[in-house]
Amino acid sequence: MDLSGWIDAFLDHLRVERALARNTLEAYARDLSRLAAHVGDAASPDEITPDRIASLLVDNVRTGFGARSSARQLSALRGFFKFLVRERILKEDPTALVERPGIGRRLPKTLSFEDIERLLATPRLDTDGGARDAAMMHLMYASGLRVSELCSLRVADLDTKRGVVSVLGKGRKRRLVPVGEVALTQVTTYLEHVRPRIAPAGESTLFVSRRGKRIARQVFWKSMKRYARGAGITQEISPHKLRHSFATHLLRGGADLRAVQAMLGHADLGTTEIYTHVAQDHVRDAHARAHPRA
């Protein structure tokens, strides 16, 4: 089987056995297609040497492919070649000795608590769409959900008595996340007074459009941008910024790092630790303002 066929087999493995999200699969496919375009679809996997991998990374620089994108691509290539080694197609991984492109660690951008307050107060609660959007944004900020997790929630996933939501995250792993009282009130109001009017019988999805269908994440993103403009927020907005803000504000409030890791659904504590750098900014600012020799 040629390189193109093994790429398809690897993507099938990721989809079926590892249950990766569609967006992640598409990213893998794009990164591996760049390799196929560089060496040729009909190439055999054993023709790909470390020099050819390095050549691809050098070519990325010439074509304006950024260091961060190259690092992500190399990660996809390593996963692919490890798969081929496990399948005994290759004896060695040609990426093993290829150095990862040097990149700075990008800190997540967050909203201030004041911006969050204004954003959450913007939707009109006397309209079905406004009440639903308010419930979605409150829940996302209260529980740190990914937008894909938020849009795929079912009614049965929300336990209003215990104040928790059951979230199906990456790798199809479930986690229980607390829901604050304010967010729970917003979601309960939507459930009792709005959803019965717009959701058809038998629909299990929690948040639905006026047509009774599951809300697309792109639609929710556009709504958030509109609310941000109405709230006078000038910085670029996205649903993921609510998740970043959730984690940062929790840590600033003294939350335990491992508890935040569990709520975010991070497999690796190192992924969560990046928020500690952002959470400490206010400490440094206070020092700069108050210390006579700052």
- Candidates 146, 241, 244, 249; catalytic one: 146
- Give me the catalytic one of 138, 243, 244, 249: 243
R_g of the chain, CA atoms, integer Å: 23
Single out the catalytic residue among 170, 217, 225, 226. Answer: 170
Bridge partners of 159? 164
275 is catalytic: yes
> HSE-up of 136 (CA within 13 Å, CB side)?
36
**Do residues 111 and 241 touch, judged by C-beta distance below 8 A?**
yes
Annotation says 222 is catalytic: no
* 170 in catalytic set: yes
Going from the C-alpha of 196 to that of each of 44, 158, 200, 232, 265, the distances in angstroms are: 57, 16, 8, 33, 31
The answer to whether 293 is a known catalytic residue is no
Active site positions, annotated:
146, 170, 240, 243, 266, 275
